[in-house]
Amino acid sequence: SQQGEEDPQALSIQEGENATMNCSYKTSINNLQWYRQNSGRGLVHLILIRSNEREKHSGRLRVTLDTSKKSSSLLITASRAADTASYFCATDGTGTYKYIFGTGTRLKVLA
């Protein structure tokens, strides 16, 4: 089963623009993680945000978490063609250590 839903499902932007992806989930969580996956490849870990955190930054990435709304967002600033990939959020429910993935957002950055 899918824990989270992401929107948009697909996003196409020009290089240099910002990209925002949203993730909503259903149950209380310990942590939320964002991953990137290039076509047909493995997962690359981007950021982990804990349930008691509201915002984290890593380079051009900014993640927010709103536990009251059960939602998170991933912002990629000054996007590059190399950012073209699928982005997934994954959450582990309280009391469990297994991560359930959202539906994913396919991002295409046009040069």
Among 18, 41, 54, 80, binds another protein (CB under 8 A): 41
52 binds another protein (CB under 8 A): no
Structure tokens at 68: 């009251």
88 binds another protein (CB under 8 A): yes
Backbone dihedral angles phi then psi of residue 80, each to the nearest 5 degrees:
-125, 160
Residue 11 to residue 51: CA distance in whole angstroms: 27
Contacts of 75 (CB under 8 A, 6+ apart): 18, 19, 20, 61, 62, 63, 64
Eight-class DSSP state of 1: -
Of residues 11 and 77, the one with the C-beta less far from another protein: 11
96 binds another protein (CB under 8 A): yes
100 binds another protein (CB under 8 A): yes
Q: Given the rule CB under 8 A, which of 16-24, 35-43, 63-71, 75-83 is the region that contacts another protein? A: 35-43
Q: Is residue 56 within 8 Å of residue 47, measured between CB atoms?
A: yes
109 binds another protein (CB under 8 A): no
Binding site for another protein (CB under 8 A): 1-2, 30-31, 33, 35, 40-43, 45, 48, 50, 88, 90, 92, 96-104, 106
